[in-house]
Structure 1
Amino acid sequence: MSYRLRARALGCVVLLVVAGGACGAGEESKGAVADVELSIATFNEFGYEDLLKQYQDTHPHVRITHRKTGKADDHHQTMFTQMASGTGLADVEAVEEGWIAQVMAKSDQFNDLNKIGPSDVTAERWLQWKSDAASNRDGELIGYGTDIGPMAMCYRRDLFEAAGLPSDPEAVGALFGTWESYFATGDRFVANSDKAWFDSASQVFNAMVNQNKVGYYDLDDKLVLESNTAVKADWDQVTAAVENGQSANLVAFSNEWNTAFKNAAFATKTCPSWMLGVIEAQSGPENEDKWAVTAAFPGGAGNWGGSFLTVPKQSRHPKEAAELAAWLTAPEQQIKAFTAKGTFPSQNEALLSPALLNQTNPYFGNAKVGALFAEQANKVPAAQHKGPAAGQIQDKVFGDALQAVEHGTKVESAWKQALAEAEKLAK
């Protein structure tokens, strides 16, 4: 994600058992020394703090060390370095969707969870497009699906009202039927407000590209940026909106971006399910009820974000690691993680659970977020294929290019530079 924020490391953890990574702070479990010491490496927010404590309480022979990295890019760079060196990987490694293709290209370094995992855990547990993304051509299941990022749109109700726009989620939804109507409404908004329409060009662009049937790569892992007219059309729409003054020109997850939530610097936010927790954390209690969420999303359904739990062959305890990963991704735990941090379940059973569907979010006016995002998740026809450097192209290449446009670089020059940088990464 993704650009997702995931939670701080839990207590009740000790001893860095695998060298080469940063260990989260923790307290030593009381009682007898554990028979099995496991490590799990995640990034940003997964909502696992209480779950890992619960697992240790119910599995007294297991002690867990949680390594948490703030940014997905940093986590994956470390992981690939440790893969190359043959040492340092955690027993359970989280992999975000933007990097899963790189992992699948090296799937011989990971255990087949069909073989070492619990016998009752199969790929059918998840939405098909989720499990397909972590299955290689030999039918090996390399990762258990954690969350997904079904798309909705979040917006500032008070800023809409001040600009003369409707603020009820159903009425607002009518403005977001297409990207054309979304950007046209943005022009109306900035004409009647001193605030920006959206936070960051790259955040909008990423959501648009993820809706396309084909993204940066085709199914043969060939870079198709120059021939994929859909990506260029997305670029043209977003950069036109920037030139019309709709962007707050912020870098996502920067200090300035965080502060902008509190200062109501922009009116709308592309909103995968995990973004709800980010908005609440950054906007603070003083802005409760000022944010709203609508199921309508320009261009229809989309998914942005989501991860997998893998068990590298470096693990000393692969069976126990797979059991932990299976437990963390079971329906009950996925629902608890969603409650904690907004990481939306990818499990079929969880998506039908009343415990999920009845969930509301007080911060967003008691919106029925469980049912809202479950509906959006079921609209996603298939996961877009992510090529080897898709995550880096999304985060760095186009992120940097769009930031340059926001700061005055000519649109065509930035596009040509993005193509050149993407080609370098794809070699």
Structure 2
Amino acid sequence: MLRSLLTCASVLALTAAAGCASSSTPSDTPSSTANGPVELTIATFGKFGYEDLLKQYEQAHPNVKITARVTGQGGPFHQEFLTKLAAGSGLADVQALEEGHLSDFLDKADKFNDLAEIGPKDADASRWLPWKFEAGKSKGGKLIGYGTDVGPLAMCYRKDMFAAAGLPSEPDKVKDLFATWDSYFAAGDTFVQKGGGKAWFDSASQIFNSMVNQLDTGYINKSDDSLAIESNPKIKQAWDKVTGAVTRNQSAKLTAFSNEWNSGFKQGAFATKICPSWMIGVIKEQAGPDNAGKWAVTDAFPEGGGNWGGSYLTVPKQSKHPKEAAELAAWLTAPEQQLAAFKAAGPFPSQVKAIEAPELLATTDAYFGGAKTGEIFANQAKKVTKAQYKGPKDGQIQENVTSPALAAVEQGKSPADGWQQAVDGAKKLVR
């Protein structure tokens, strides 16, 4: 879903400065199948950076032939994934799965191989950031996916607009403004008063989604997959804070990834942006060269940290070569290969050794004033402490219920009526 929104120019942006080292040579250990060639398929969407890596794997494993299926759009990819999963045929040996769609598949764990059982023994929890590894498990503890990339959250902002409003503008000086959601919205009030009619943030749903994703319990209770939108008071508290900011004119009232939202970057329609690692490329592409040096990024995010984006590699039970498929998926997600994929296409690594690698930490971005983007996002990734449980319909509640309700508030509906719209819509999805 997210990956398909990024053009090649977007994802390459994060690697604009110090180049990453090339990936290590694949292991020379032969595949476990000795009788004839093993034909594997891998299905991905958008830009995973696997083109050269798959060739390297074939060279090191002469008895393995790999066919790659690449789909441009994440939405259609996952719809087809669900259809073929239910039908019991048609899936690749290795299927990518984006974290925004994860909740639609975790309750179907019986249709996936447990990678903890069939995968290489060294592809264990110690490789990954703990929260990334845990998010790939079903409620029953089955590991259905090896983590690929992540989207650690920082805050991007317009230095010139901050300075014009009398706010601190240097990255090391703005961190207090972004320490908590209360301090963030308080700074927004100051900006609105002195910002010359510009908005503080782009979209209410972008802010609200980030706040809800930080909670211990999101829209779905882990114990019984029941709806938590009313029983968890912190969701309503987040709603009140965001919609309160909307009524105080902090929102630019833009729909993310719309043409108007894209134009908003060029026009300076808002001063701050929720900024996962991949958003760096989006800002550069949409704001354009005329705004180079005006945007900055800092390693601060309200209430600590968060994640938006990232994927997994799964091995459906439909695979005729599950062990070989698991070996391929484990290799592609190993630290050396994650660094190579980062260099090739920009997805930020989820492996501990990869995000601690000197070549990644040395990455800078001239568009953002020479910011150490590799170090910033590595630090932010480590701040995430727990993976929130994503039960059935979780993603649909966010995309089809709360986001439209927040847009309605931005267009004049009262926050109370918007909340009721969100609650009613969630109840229709989760019965």
TM-score, reference length from structure 1: 0.86
Cα distance change, pair 359–306 in 1 and its aligned pair in 2 (3 A): same
* Greater shift in the superposed pair: 84-93 or 294-303: 84-93
Query: Where do residues 196-211 of structure 1 align in structure 2 (5 Å cutoff)?
Result: 196-211=199-214
What is the aligned partner in structure 2 of residue 21 from structure 1? Answer: none
SS of structure 2 residue aligned to 1:378 = helix
What is the aligned partner in structure 1 of residue 147 from structure 2? Answer: 145
Query: Could you tell me how far apart the structure 1 residues matched to 2:235 and 2:4 are?
Result: 23
CA drift at 1:96: 2.4
* Greater shift in the superposed pair: 137-146 or 246-255: 137-146
CA drift at 1:293: 0.4
Tell whether the 8 Å contact from 2:162 to 2:168 is kept in structure 1 after alignment: yes
What is the aligned partner in structure 2 of residue 113 from structure 1? Answer: 115
* 2:120 alignment partner AA: P
Query: Could you tell me how far apart the structure 2 residues matched to 1:358 and 1:264 are?
Result: 29
Asked if 1:283 corresponds to 2:290, the answer is no
Asked if 1:79 corresponds to 2:81, the answer is yes
What is the aligned partner in structure 1 of residue 5 from structure 2? Answer: 5
SS of structure 2 residue aligned to 1:338 = helix
Deviations 1:164-207 (A, max 9, x none): 32210011112111111211211222222232211111111111
SS of structure 2 residue aligned to 1:296 = coil
Asked if 1:180 corresponds to 2:167, the answer is no
What is the aligned partner in structure 2 of residue 423 from structure 1? Answer: 427
Tell whether the 8 Å contact from 2:4 to 2:72 is kept in structure 1 after alignment: no
Number of residues of Structure 1 aligned to a counterpart in Structure 2? 401
Deviations 1:256-314 (A, max 9, x none): 22222222221110012222222223223332222110111112222223221101122
Deviations 1:133-171 (A, max 9, x none): 222466532100112222210011222223332210011
Tell whether the 8 Å contact from 1:201 to 1:403 is kept in structure 2 after alignment: yes
Asked if 1:274 corresponds to 2:284, the answer is no
Query: Could you tell me how far apart the structure 1 residues matched to 2:139 and 2:393 are?
Result: 19
What is the aligned partner in structure 1 of residue 353 from structure 2? Answer: 349
Asked if 1:68 corresponds to 2:71, the answer is yes
Asked if 1:215 corresponds to 2:206, the answer is no
Tell whether the 8 Å contact from 1:292 to 1:364 is kept in structure 2 after alignment: yes
What is the aligned partner in structure 2 of residue 131 from structure 1? Answer: 133
What is the aligned partner in structure 2 of residue 365 from structure 1? Answer: 369
Structure 2 counterpart of 1:384, from 388, 399, 410: 388
Structure 1 counterpart of 2:243, from 216, 230, 239: 239
CA drift at 1:419: 0.8
Query: Could you tell me how far apart the structure 2 residues matched to 1:101 and 1:234 are?
Result: 22
* 2:91 alignment partner AA: L
* 1:408 alignment partner AA: G
* 1:108 alignment partner AA: D
Query: Could you tell me how far apart the structure 1 residues matched to 2:372 and 2:269 are?
Result: 26
Q: Alignment identity in percent? A: 59
Structure 1 residues without counterparts, runs of 5 or longer: 9-33
SS of structure 2 residue aligned to 1:196 = coil
Tell whether the 8 Å contact from 2:40 to 2:93 is kept in structure 1 after alignment: yes
* Greater shift in the superposed pair: 54-63 or 172-181: 54-63
Query: Could you tell me how far apart the structure 1 residues matched to 2:400 and 2:77 are?
Result: 15
Cα distance change, pair 410–340 in 1 and its aligned pair in 2 (3 A): farther
What is the aligned partner in structure 2 of residue 194 from structure 1? Answer: 197
Cα distance change, pair 6–413 in 1 and its aligned pair in 2 (3 A): same
* 1:210 alignment partner AA: N
Cα distance change, pair 35–65 in 1 and its aligned pair in 2 (3 A): same
Tell whether the 8 Å contact from 1:7 to 1:49 is kept in structure 2 after alignment: no
What is the aligned partner in structure 2 of residue 154 from structure 1? Answer: 156
Cα distance change, pair 257–43 in 1 and its aligned pair in 2 (3 A): farther
CA drift at 1:400: 1.0
Cα distance change, pair 137–389 in 1 and its aligned pair in 2 (3 A): closer
Tell whether the 8 Å contact from 1:118 to 1:323 is kept in structure 2 after alignment: yes
Deviations 1:202-240 (A, max 9, x none): 111111111111111222122111121111111111111
Asked if 1:102 corresponds to 2:104, the answer is yes
Structure 2 counterpart of 1:313, from 314, 317, 320: 317
What is the aligned partner in structure 2 of residue 257 from structure 1? Answer: 261
Query: Could you tell me how far apart the structure 1 residues matched to 2:419 and 2:296 are?
Result: 34
Query: Could you tell me how far apart the structure 2 residues matched to 1:50 and 1:154 are?
Result: 32
Cα distance change, pair 155–56 in 1 and its aligned pair in 2 (3 A): farther
SS of structure 1 residue aligned to 2:69 = strand
CA drift at 1:81: 1.7
Query: Could you tell me how far apart the structure 1 residues matched to 2:153 and 2:258 are?
Result: 22
Cα distance change, pair 401–53 in 1 and its aligned pair in 2 (3 A): farther
* 2:67 alignment partner AA: I
Cα distance change, pair 333–259 in 1 and its aligned pair in 2 (3 A): farther
Tell whether the 8 Å contact from 1:197 to 1:267 is kept in structure 2 after alignment: yes
* 2:123 alignment partner AA: V
Deviations 1:52-79 (A, max 9, x none): 45545655652432322424x4332221
Query: Could you tell me how far apart the structure 2 residues matched to 1:316 and 1:343 are?
Result: 29
Cα distance change, pair 95–162 in 1 and its aligned pair in 2 (3 A): same
RMSD: 2.4
What is the aligned partner in structure 1 of residue 19 from structure 2? Answer: none
Query: Could you tell me how far apart the structure 2 residues matched to 1:45 and 1:90 are?
Result: 17
Structure 2 counterpart of 1:248, from 237, 252, 271: 252
Query: Could you tell me how far apart the structure 1 residues matched to 2:241 and 2:215 are?
Result: 14
SS of structure 1 residue aligned to 2:254 = coil
CA drift at 1:102: 3.0
Query: Could you tell me how far apart the structure 1 residues matched to 2:254 and 2:39 are?
Result: 42
What is the aligned partner in structure 1 of residue 22 from structure 2? Answer: none
What is the aligned partner in structure 1 of residue 27 from structure 2? Answer: none
